[in-house]
Amino acid sequence: MLKYVDYDIVFQEIPDEVSLAINISQCPNRCSGCHSMHLMENIGEDLSTDILYRIIDKYKDSITCVCFMGGDKSQPEIEKLANAVKTNYNLKVGWYSGKEVLPKQLYLFDYVKLGRYIEALGGLDSLNTNQRMYKISANETDDITYRFKKQL
């Protein structure tokens, strides 16, 4: 089962959304220059759907989006958790992934960030970044990476 380390309410990870960002450990990507090396470790608590509901219920009236930060260790589990949010809450779902391709079950997500972190290219706010943020609606993808550069 995926594990989470902590969570926070954030404003910049997804443009125009107030997101409950849940930081997931056991990251398999091992990017050189990783900004959150502790997330590669096997730490934290199990992120079951019941625990997810408990966390969301605390903040559901003040957020617009639930954003899973990581979880590349098990895409099926991320999709299961995304489906749980979609089924039980009127909230959007985001996923920060280090993968290179969009999930097949695109309808479960409203936002997906793709791409490993490459130190020389920088993160989403870098002009040279390899990473991409997609907004998804009706199974169509819109590359909104430019929104991060405007915030500089």
| Total number of residues that touch ligand SF4 (CB under 6 A) | 13
Instruction: For residue 98, state whether it binds ligand SF4 (rule: CB under 6 A).
Output: yes
Min dist CB 112 to ligand SF4, Å, is: 14
Of 80, 70, 58, the residue nearest 9 (C-alpha): 58
User: Which of 115, 104, 105, 43 has the alpha carbon at shortest distance from 23?
Assistant: 43
Residues in 16-75 that interact with ligand SF4 by CB under 6 A: 27, 29-31, 34-36, 39-40, 70
Q: Which is nearer to ligand SF4, 88 or 145 (CB)?
A: 145
Min CB(139)–ligand SF4 separation in Å: 25
By three-state DSSP, how is residue 62 classified?
coil
Tell me how far, at minimum, the Cβ of 40 lies from ligand SF4, in Å.
Answer: 6
Distance between CA atoms of 151 and 136, rounded to whole angstroms? Answer: 21
Pair 128, 115: CB distance under 8 Å: no
Beta carbons of 130 and 118 less than 8 angstroms apart? yes
CB 76 within 8 A of CB 1: no
Q: Which residues contact 85 (CB under 8 A, 6 or more apart)?
A: 52, 56, 66, 91, 93
Closest CB to ligand SF4 among residues 8, 16: 8
Q: Find the binder of ligand SF4 among 4, 7, 68, 117 (CB under 6 A).
A: 117
**Residue 90 Cβ, how far from ligand SF4 at the closest point, in Å?**
29
Binding to ligand SF4 by residue 104, rule CB under 6 A? no
The site for ligand SF4 (CB under 6 A) is made up of 27, 29-31, 34-36, 39-40, 70, 98, 116-117
